[in-house]
Amino acid sequence: MSALCDPTGAAPPGPPQNPAHGAHPPLSSQELAQEIKAFLSGVDPVHGNKLTIKEHARCAILLLRSLPPARSAVLDHLRNVFDEYVCTYLLELESSEGGLGARRAQGPNLDDVVQEIQNVLSEFVRMNPKAWAPVVSAWSIDLMGQLSSKYAGRHGVPHASSLNELLQLWMSCKATRTLMDIYTQCLSSMISTCPDACVDALLDTSVQHSPHFDWVVAHIGSSFPNTIISRVLSCGLKDFCVHGAAPVDLLFPTAADKRVPKIASVVGILGHLASRHSDSIKQELLRMFHESLGPMRDQQQKATVPFLLQLAVMSPMLLGTISSELVDSLKPSVLSQLHQHFAALPREDLENMVSIVVHLICQTSAGAYRILQFLVNTAMPASVITTPGLAVHDSVREACDRIIQLLLLNLQKLVYNRGSASLGDAPPRAVPFLDELKGHVRELCVETLRLERKRFLWQHQLLGLLSVYCTPSCTTDALFYLLTLSRSQEELGLATQLYAVLSSCMSDLLPATVKKCVCQIHMGGLSEQHMVQLFHNLALIVQWEGEGPASMSAQLGAVLSLHLYDLGQLLLHRNPEVAEAASLLLSVCPLPRAIRPAHLLVIIRSAVHQFFLVLHRQCPTGISYSTRLLSRLSGASPAAMKAILQQLVEGSLHPGNAELFGGLAELPAGDDASLEGTRISLLDINRRFTTAVNFSGSVWSVFHAGVIGRGLKPPQLARRQEPEEIVHNVQNFLSLLLRCCRGGRYGAPESPAHTAAVNPEAAKAVAVVLVESVCPDVTNSELGWPPEEHTRSTVERDIQICRRFRDNPLLFQLLRLVAAGPPALCYCSVLLRGLLATLMAHWEASRHGDTTSSPWHLHASCALVACMAEGSLLPPVLGNMHEIFHQLAPFEVHLLLLSVWDYVRDNSPLPQKFTFQADKGLFFRDFSRDCDVGKYLCVLHSVLHKNIDRLGLLSGRFQT
308-311 long-range contacts (CB < 8 A, ≥24 apart) are 309/248, 309/353, 309/356, 309/357, 309/360, 310/240, 310/245, 310/248, 310/253, 310/256, 310/260, 310/263, 311/236, 311/263, 311/266, 311/267, 311/270, 311/285
Highest mean pLDDT, choosing among 179-188, 562-571, 684-693, 707-716: 562-571
pLDDT higher than 80, residue 836: yes
Cβ atoms of 302 and 343 closer than 8 Å: no
Low-confidence winner among 222-236, 399-413, 500-514, 614-628 (lowest mean pLDDT): 222-236
Average pLDDT for 555-579: 92
Residue 551 — φ and ψ, nearest 5°?
A: -70, 160
The bridge status of strand 711-712 relative to strand 706-707 is antiparallel
Could you tell me the sign of the dihedral formed by the alpha carbons of 360, 363, 368, 373, in that order? positive
Cβ atoms of 380 and 452 closer than 8 Å: yes
pLDDT higher than 70, residue 558: yes
pLDDT digits (tens, 9 = 90+) for 387-419: 444 577 788 888 899 999 999 999 999 988 876
pLDDT higher than 80, residue 694: no
Give the integer Cα–Cα distance in Å for 682 and 686: 6
Type of residue at 475: T
Q: Give me the DSSP letters along 794-822.
A: GHHHHHHHHHHHHH-THHHHHHHHHHTST
- Tell me the three state secondary structure of residue 487: coil
Of 813, 809, 860, which Cα lies nearest the Cα of 660?
Answer: 809
pLDDT higher than 70, residue 122: yes
Average pLDDT for 909-920: 83
pLDDT at 845: 92
Low-confidence winner among 336-350, 672-686, 780-794 (lowest mean pLDDT): 672-686
pLDDT higher than 60, residue 719: no
Type of residue at 879: G
The residues, ordered by sequence, that sit 6+ positions from 578 with a Cβ below 8 Å of its Cβ are: 528, 531, 532, 535, 570
Higher-pLDDT residue of 14 and 165 is 165
The 8-class DSSP code of residue 849 comes to S
pLDDT at 483: 94
Chain-centre distance for alpha carbon 331: 33
Cβ atoms of 321 and 274 closer than 8 Å: yes
pLDDT at 8: 38
pLDDT band, very low/low/confident/very high, at 663 (cuts 50, 70, 90): confident
The bridge status of strand 711-712 relative to strand 914-917 is unpaired
Low-confidence winner among 631-645, 705-719, 854-868 (lowest mean pLDDT): 705-719
Of 333, 359, 378, which Cα lies nearest the Cα of 253?
Answer: 359
pLDDT band, very low/low/confident/very high, at 344 (cuts 50, 70, 90): confident
Element (H, E) at 925: strand 922-925
Average pLDDT for 613-638: 92
Cβ atoms of 760 and 823 closer than 8 Å: yes
The residues, ordered by sequence, that sit 6+ positions from 367 with a Cβ below 8 Å of its Cβ are: 320, 323, 324, 325, 327, 436
pLDDT higher than 80, residue 882: yes
* Cα angle 402, 365, 438; round to 5: 90
How far CA 321 is from CA of 221, 334, 434, in Å, comes to 18, 20, 18
Residue 892 — φ and ψ, nearest 5°?
A: -70, -40
Whether residue 472 is preceded by a cis peptide bond, meaning omega within 30 degrees of 0, is yes
Task: Please state, rounded to an integer, the average pLDDT across all residues of the chain.
Answer: 80
pLDDT at 111: 85
Average pLDDT for 300-320: 81
pLDDT at 12: 40
Residue 220, CA atoms < 13 Å, CB-side half-sphere: 33
pLDDT band, very low/low/confident/very high, at 192 (cuts 50, 70, 90): confident
Give the integer Cα–Cα distance in Å for 297 and 491: 50
Average pLDDT for 764-768: 92
pLDDT higher than 70, residue 228: yes
Could you tell me the sign of the dihedral formed by the alpha carbons of 129, 131, 132, 137, in that order? positive
pLDDT digits (tens, 9 = 90+) for 782-831: 677 877 777 777 888 889 999 999 999 999 999 999 999 889 999 999 99
Highest mean pLDDT, choosing among 28-42, 310-324, 478-492: 478-492
pLDDT higher than 70, residue 894: yes
Higher-pLDDT residue of 26 and 708 is 26
Element (H, E) at 231: helix 225-243
pLDDT higher than 60, residue 484: yes
757 burial via Cβ count (<10 Å: 0-12, 13-18, 19+): middle
pLDDT at 750: 41
The residues, ordered by sequence, that sit 6+ positions from 191 with a Cβ below 8 Å of its Cβ are: 224, 227
Higher-pLDDT residue of 20 and 347 is 347
pLDDT band, very low/low/confident/very high, at 897 (cuts 50, 70, 90): very high
pLDDT band, very low/low/confident/very high, at 686 (cuts 50, 70, 90): low
Average pLDDT for 434-453: 90
pLDDT at 713: 62
The residues, ordered by sequence, that sit 6+ positions from 616 with a Cβ below 8 Å of its Cβ are: 657, 660
pLDDT at 841: 92
Give the integer Cα–Cα distance in Å for 46 and 33: 13
How far CA 116 is from CA of 26, 37, 58, 65, 783, in Å, comes to 18, 22, 8, 11, 128
pLDDT digits (tens, 9 = 90+) for 139-178: 988 988 898 888 888 877 888 767 778 888 888 899 889 9
Higher-pLDDT residue of 320 and 836 is 836
pLDDT digits (tens, 9 = 90+) for 254-282: 444 444 556 777 777 777 777 777 888 88
* Cα angle 767, 771, 775; round to 5: 170
Of 799, 784, 807, 809, which Cα lies nearest the Cα of 726?
Answer: 809
pLDDT higher than 90, residue 584: yes
Residue 59, CA atoms < 13 Å, CB-side half-sphere: 24
Low-confidence winner among 371-375, 414-418, 684-688, 878-882 (lowest mean pLDDT): 684-688
How far CA 550 is from CA of 471, 500, 503, in Å, comes to 20, 9, 9
Highest mean pLDDT, choosing among 31-35, 451-455, 556-560: 556-560
Would you state the torsion angle of the CA atoms of residues 565, 570, 572, 577, taken in this order, to the nearest 10 degrees? -150
Type of residue at 256: A
pLDDT band, very low/low/confident/very high, at 441 (cuts 50, 70, 90): very high
How far CA 823 is from CA of 834, 869, 901, 912, in Å, comes to 19, 12, 19, 9
By residue count, the chain amounts to 960
Average pLDDT for 843-859: 91
Average pLDDT for 368-377: 90
Reported pTM = 0.74
pLDDT at 671: 44
pLDDT higher than 80, residue 603: yes
In sequence order, the β-bridge partners of residue 43 are 50
pLDDT band, very low/low/confident/very high, at 706 (cuts 50, 70, 90): low
Average pLDDT for 626-655: 92
260 burial via Cβ count (<10 Å: 0-12, 13-18, 19+): buried
Type of residue at 391: A
Higher-pLDDT residue of 955 and 17 is 955
Give the integer Cα–Cα distance in Å for 819 and 824: 7
pLDDT at 738: 92
Low-confidence winner among 188-192, 297-301, 424-428, 908-912 (lowest mean pLDDT): 424-428
pLDDT higher than 50, residue 11: no
pLDDT at 108: 46
705 burial via Cβ count (<10 Å: 0-12, 13-18, 19+): exposed
pLDDT band, very low/low/confident/very high, at 34 (cuts 50, 70, 90): confident
Give the integer Cα–Cα distance in Å for 605 and 497: 37
Residue 422 — φ and ψ, nearest 5°?
A: -90, -175
Give the integer Cα–Cα distance in Å for 624 and 616: 14
pLDDT at 296: 64
The helix-helix angle for 829-845 and 890-906 (nearest 10°) equals 150
The residues, ordered by sequence, that sit 6+ positions from 624 with a Cβ below 8 Å of its Cβ are: none
Give the integer Cα–Cα distance in Å for 58 and 128: 22
- Gyration radius of the chain's alpha carbons: 51
- Tell me the three state secondary structure of residue 884: helix
pLDDT higher than 90, residue 952: no
Cβ atoms of 737 and 817 closer than 8 Å: yes
- Tell me the three state secondary structure of residue 924: strand
